[in-house]
Structures are given as structure tokens and as C-alpha cells.
Amino acid sequence: MGLRDPLYWLYEKRLERRLTSQEIPRHVGVVMDGNRRWAKSSGLGGAELGHRAGADKIFEVLRWCDELGVQVVTLWMLSTDNLSRDEDELGLLVRIIDQAIVRLREEGWNTKRVGALDILPDSTVRALKEAEEATSGNPGLVVNVAVGYGGRREIADAVRSLLHDEADRGTSIQELAERLDIEDIARHLYTRGQPDPDLLIRTSGEQRLSGFMLWQSVHSEFYFCEAYWPAFRRVDFLRALRSYGARNRRFGH
């Protein structure tokens, strides 16, 4: 063990001791960015090792969240834009995601699917449904798996679902237009029934949301971290929580 390791351990402990329960967000969303760049910068060559290291990192971060009392985590594993990637890399990425979902089920994390199932491969749809059915109601952290997810697509799907439901009740478009409010749409989002994210973290130094949780993030705090996702450390996570806890959340007041 080098000198750096105990120093970081001590620093982590100091950060953790200074956190209060009021500074722990209920819901954390994570844009897990930088797998390919991490592999390249580490001299590991192709994207496969980066994606596999990124999948392993998921379970470290879930343990940190669970230990600190976070209630919900949303992990953006595959966006609608990612589906246009090179066919070989996309196939590899989907297989790694499928394996991660199976591992979530095997480890007993309360897993929820978040995304458009109709645009995903059958293997991924099956893995998501099996994980959700097997872990529904499990105690502890809720893990939203955002696969085939796009913020604009989610809002469009929510409105479509709302229109279908109202049509089944015999509601006319005119009647719906006169009484439609924010909560009507919110009840049809992928994350319905859950608290909106308090904190959104994006790794790799990019400072944009790229469509992640567009509706739900209206009052979220953002934290952009320079580390690539596979290199994201517990100390980076604690710094994000420290930054969140230091902010004055006025919610428009």
C-alpha cells in the first residue's frame, strides 16, 4: 500500500464525518460517462474493457449510496442516442448491460426499469422484466436502470400514456385540455411515485445533461466531476454530497 491510499482513506473519513443526514439526497441520478475515454487514456485499447470497468463501478457506487442512506439511484446506462452507435460496439455494450442487470437481480437490489422497452433488444427487455419482478419490494435502495432512455422520449411517452388513459375513460380532448395540469403528466413518467432527483452527477468533465431526466430535474442540483466513470472514487462521491449539502435550495422562493 502506497502513501496515497491511507491519505485518501483519512480524507474520505473526514468528509463522511462532516456530512449530516440533512445533506444526504434522497434521490441521486448518475450520468455514467467516460468509459471509452478511460480505456484509451489507461492504454487499454478498445472500448470493451472500459465498458466492463464501468459496469463494475456501478456496484461500488450502489454500496456507497446504500451505506450513506440514499433512497433512490437512477443510473443512465444507455441513451436513445447511444442506439445509433457502431453495431459491433452497441452489441458489446448491450451484452454488458444485460449482465449488469442480471447481477442487480442476483444481488437483490430493488430494480426498476426506466426507458422505452420497445426500442431495446429482446434480451435486455427480458433481463429488465425479470429483475424487476424478482426484486420488487426488496428493502433498501431502489435502483432505476435507465436503458433506452431519453428525456424527450419520456415526456412524449408520458403524454401518450395519459391520452390513452383518458380516452379509455371517455374524456374528450377538449375536456382534458381544460383541466390538464403538471401532476397529470407526472403520474405517467417512468419514475412515477418516486421523489424527483435531488442531485444529478455527471462524470468525465462534460457539463451538460444530454436529456437526462428533463422533467424531474427542474429543482435538482448538478455536480460535474472530471473523473471518467470507471475512475470515479468514493472521495469523488463524498465531494458531490458535500457540494450538494452546501447549497441553499430555495425551490424558486
Give me the active site residues, please: 33, 82
Phi, psi of 3 (to 5 degrees): -65, -35
C-alpha 212/C-alpha 96 separation (Å) is: 21
First to last CA, the chain: 50
Phi, psi of 33 (to 5 degrees): -110, 145
Phi, psi of 112 (to 5 degrees): -125, 140
Query: Please, is 159 exposed, middle or buried when counting C-beta atoms within 10 Å of its C-beta (0-12, 13-18, 19+)?
Result: middle
C-alpha 33/C-alpha 202 separation (Å) is: 7
Q: How far is CA 143 from CA 65, 71, 101, 139, 224, in A?
A: 10, 9, 10, 11, 21
Q: How far is CA 177 from CA 153, 162, 171, in A?
A: 21, 12, 10
Return the DSSP state at 192: T
